[in-house]
Amino acid sequence: MPTYIALLNWTDQGVRNYKDTAQRAETFGAAAQKIGAKLLNIYWTVGPYDLVAVVEAPDDETATAAILQVGGVGNVRSTTLRAFGREEMERIVAKAAG
């Protein structure tokens, strides 16, 4: 299943409610699962992003829906990246090489 990396920053609302962050992550995981995505892991980070979420979804539409759900609550803003594992990258390179 395709993997997506979501780089998340807390909004003013999100940082005000920092005490609920672990529960919000659990809620995000459950909501993602209901629409067919899976929260593989979430990391709280130091640096330009406050959190990094690793999500699997069957397609871009499902991944986007999951990220829209988490963003729609108002606690985070996101930048989402499609990630390719080693086997996927080897197929991409083989295709590019002809």
pLDDT at 19: 97
Digit-coded pLDDT (tens) for 34-50: 999 999 999 999 999 99
Question: What confidence category does residue 58 fall into, taking pLDDT thresholds of 50, 70 and 90?
Answer: very high
- Asked whether 63 and 4 are in contact (CB, 8 A), the reply is yes
Between 21-34 and 60-72, two packed helices, what is the crossing angle to 10 degrees? 140
Question: pTM of the entire structure?
Answer: 0.92
Mean pLDDT, to the nearest integer, of 44-59? 98
Tell me if residue 48 falls in helix, strand or coil.
coil
